[in-house]
Amino acid sequence: MPPTSPPVDPPGDDTLDLRVDDLVALLAAGEPPRSPDGRPGDGDLLDSVADWGPTTTPFGTFQLVPVRLERDLPLLTRWMNDPAVAAFWELAGPETVTAGHLRAQLDGDGRSVPCLGVLDDVPVSYFEIYRADLDPLARHYPARPHDTGIHLLVGGVTDRGRGIGTALLHAVAELVLDHRPRCARVVAEPDIRNTPSVSAFLSAGFRYAAEVDLPDKRAALMIRDRTLRHAL
């Protein structure tokens, strides 16, 4: 379970104010117009993740490498069938199950990019970088324009419990903030029961903002604020 007394942002009755503030921020940021079906314009896409380049971590040189189905499907299927992963990702099964999950992003409109997390040229993790403000998650918290979300799993059993997850979360949050200047916050929503994940986010500089009820889980809303990035 999460810390017994995490700092929680009270929901309050400021929904309207938040919406007005978001609209002002959206206009100030030059948010591109959307089509009638709500699809984002080119300025919203995350297709530049491949160009973010490597960064240094305490465990070696890390880089996000966008998934290629023909290359990465067997590895990701194996990871999804690990019991510790399957308990929260719920994607255990044959390759077709993992492939369906990946294709939904790869064939989408650029709101979510599935990536291998590569450490010293070895894939050790799987990330999904996504536009949280354009995701169904935004219905469950006061989203702000350009909020960017992170999903993570650490693939190898021997890579868990050694601080690698924390180091990679910190590295990816920094990459997002470095390369997405209009993003003021990196967010995540791990399952509240996934204590190691919640702990890793906290250690990586995220704050525990609230508990939110999502359609498939009760989640811990974790937020990494740009304004606090140099305070760590």
Per-residue pLDDT at 231 = 54
Digit-coded pLDDT (tens) for 158-217: 889 899 999 999 999 999 999 999 999 999 999 999 999 999 999 999 999 999 999 999
How much is the pTM? 0.81
The pLDDT of 48-73, averaged and rounded, is 96
Residue 44 pLDDT: 58
Alpha helices in the chain (DSSP H): 15-28, 69-80, 83-89, 95-106, 164-179, 195-203
Q: Is residue 36 scored above 70 in pLDDT?
A: no
Domains of the chain: 43-231 (3.40.630.30)
